[in-house]
Amino acid sequence: MNPVRDKSVMYYTYVLKSKKSERLYTGSTNDLRKRFNQHNTGKSSYTKKYAPYTLIYYEACKNEQDARSRELYLKSGMGKRYLANRLKRSLSLTG
């Protein structure tokens, strides 16, 4: 099996940064490109008022529940500290 050419479904946990307000949004999906486009075109009711976004971080998992668990962790206090430490330079960039 070639992991680069594996066609099985992947699940993603991602972090977006609003170019407008610099707010962060964390989510999970099985189609990162489509979901990112939905956030930036106002098709996500929760995030449309802060669009446009930049994708600043993502992780890939083979299991949907693993991706969702990771999303919940990154939304927790410890997860936010992890991201702040992991993305020091990305979070300090504006726009």
Spans of all domains in the chain? 11-82
The pLDDT, as a whole number, for residue 6 is: 66
Q: How far apart are CA 53 and CA 24, in angstroms?
A: 9
CATH of region 11-82, choose from 3.40.50.150, 3.40.50.720, 3.40.1440.10, 3.40.50.20: 3.40.1440.10
pLDDT in tens, the chain (95 residues): 566 666 789 999 999 999 999 899 999 999 999 999 999 999 998 999 999 999 999 999 999 999 999 999 999 999 999 999 999 887 775 44
What's the token pair of residue 54? 């930049």
Residue 82, phi then psi, degrees to nearest 5: -60, -50
pLDDT of residue 54: 95
Q: Which two tokens stand for residue 82?
A: 């992890």
Q: What is the model's pLDDT at position 90?
A: 74
What is this structure's pTM?
0.87
pLDDT, residue 8, reads 84
Count of Cβ atoms closer than 10 Å to residue 48 Cβ? 13
Spatial neighbors of 91 by CB under 8 A, at least 6 apart, are: 17, 24, 56, 83, 84
* C-alpha 76: how far from chain center: 14
Edge to edge, what strands does the sheet with 53-61 contain? 24-29, 11-18, 53-61
Note whether 39 and 25 are within 8 A (CB).
yes
